[in-house]
C-alpha cells in the first residue's frame, strides 16, 4: 500500500489538484476518473452516497493501477473498506483517531481535516510509526499533511491559518478544500504555491465530460500561471 501512497503523493506534488465527487451512481465515478486522470488530476470519491465504495471498486477493476482517494471517511470501517478496495489514500473532514490508526497500520496516506488538531494527528502518526516528528516528515512525507476544511465560507477565509501551522510544523503539506472555486483559486495559490487544491467544482459537470474537461483545464492554467512566476 505504501507504494500507491507514494505515487499519488508525487502526482499531487506535481499537479496539485484534487477533484471531489459525491457520486450519484457508479458510472459517474468511472467517467470522472477517465476524464480527469489523464490531466494529472486526482479523483477523491466522497463517502456521502451509497455509490462511493462500489464506484471505487469499479474504477480499480477497470484500471488496476488507478490512484484514487476516498473522501469524507468518518469511521475505521469506512477506511478499512476503502483501503481493501485499493484506494491510495484516505481523506476525512475532521481528526478521527481510529481512521488515522487504520491508515498507519496499512501504511496508507491519511489526510485528516479541520481548523485544529494538526499537531495531534502528526504526533499520533509518529507514535504509530514509532518515530519522531522529524523522521515522520522525512521518511513518510505523504503522512506529513493536513486538510484545511473549510478553507473559505461565504463570509470568512481561513487560509491564513496555514502560516501559523507551517511556522510550527516545518514544510507541512496542506490541502485546501471547502469553498474553493475558480473565483478564489488564484488567491489561494498565491497564498500557498505548494498547496493541494480540492474542489467539487471540478466535477460539477459530470453529466457533460467535455464541459468537465474544460473546467478542469481552467484550474490547471491557474496552477501553471503561478509556477511560471517562480
Distances (CA, A) of 92 to 31, 38, 84, 207: 23, 25, 17, 26
C-alpha to C-alpha distance for 111 and 13, rounded to whole angstroms: 15
Q: What is the pLDDT at residue 148?
A: 98
Instruction: List the chain domain ranges.
Output: 2-229
DSSP sequence for 18-50: EEEE--SSHHHHHHHHHHHGGGTPEEEEETTST
CATH superfamily ID and name for 2-229 = Aldolase class I (3.20.20.70)
C-alpha cell read off for 200: 467539487
List the one residue out of 79, 57, 60 whose CA is nearest residue 70: 79
Q: What is the pLDDT at residue 227?
A: 85
pLDDT tens series, the chain, 230 aa: 799 999 999 999 999 999 999 999 999 999 999 999 999 999 999 999 999 999 999 999 999 999 999 999 999 999 999 999 999 999 999 999 999 999 999 999 999 999 999 999 999 999 999 999 999 999 999 999 999 999 999 889 999 999 999 999 999 999 999 999 999 999 999 999 999 999 999 999 999 999 999 999 999 999 999 888 86
Q: What is the pLDDT at residue 1?
A: 75
Burial class (CB in 10 A: 0-12, 13-18, 19+), 164: exposed
% pLDDT > 70, the chain: 100
C-alpha to C-alpha distance for 52 and 99, rounded to whole angstroms: 17
Amino acid at each position: 500500500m505504501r507504494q500507491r501512497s507514494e505515487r499519488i503523493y508525487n502526482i499531487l506534488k506535481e499537479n496539485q489538484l484534487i477533484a471531489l465527487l459525491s457520486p450519484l451512481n457508479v458510472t459517474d465515478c468511472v467517467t470522472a476518473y477517465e476524464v480527469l486522470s489523464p490531466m494529472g488530476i486526482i479523483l477523491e470519491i466522497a463517502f456521502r452516497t451509497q455509490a462511493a465504495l462500489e464506484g471505487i471498486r469499479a474504477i480499480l477493476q477497470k484500471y488496476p493501477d488507478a490512484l484514487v482517494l476516498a473522501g469524507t471517511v468518518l469511521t475505521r470501517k469506512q477506511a478499512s473498506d476503502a483501503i481493501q478496495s485499493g484506494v491510495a489514500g484516505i481523506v476525512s473532514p475532521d481528526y478521527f483517531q481510529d481512521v488515522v490508526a487504520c491508515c498507519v497500520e496499512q501504511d496508507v496516506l491519511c489526510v485528516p481535516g479541520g481548523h485544529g488538531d494538526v499537531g495531534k494527528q502528526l504526533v499520533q502518526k509518529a507514535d504509530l510509526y514509532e518515530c519522531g516528528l522529524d523522521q515522520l516528515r522525512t521518511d513518510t512525507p505523504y503522512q506529513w499533511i493536513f486538510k484545511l476544511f473549510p478553507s473559505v465560507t461565504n463570509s470568512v477565509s481561513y487560509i491564513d491559518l496555514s502560516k501559523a501551522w507551517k511556522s510550527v510544523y516545518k514544510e507541512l503539506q496542506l490541502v485546501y478544500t471547502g469553498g474553493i472555486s475558480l473565483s478564489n483559486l488564484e488567491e489561494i495559490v498565491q497564498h500557498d504555491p505548494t498547496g493541494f487544491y480540492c474542489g467539487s467544482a471540478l466535477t460539477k459537470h459530470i453529466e457533460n465530460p467535455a464541459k468537465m474537461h474544460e473546467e478542469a483545464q481552467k484550474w490547471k492554467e491557474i496552477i501553471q500561471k503561478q509556477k511560471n512566476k517562480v
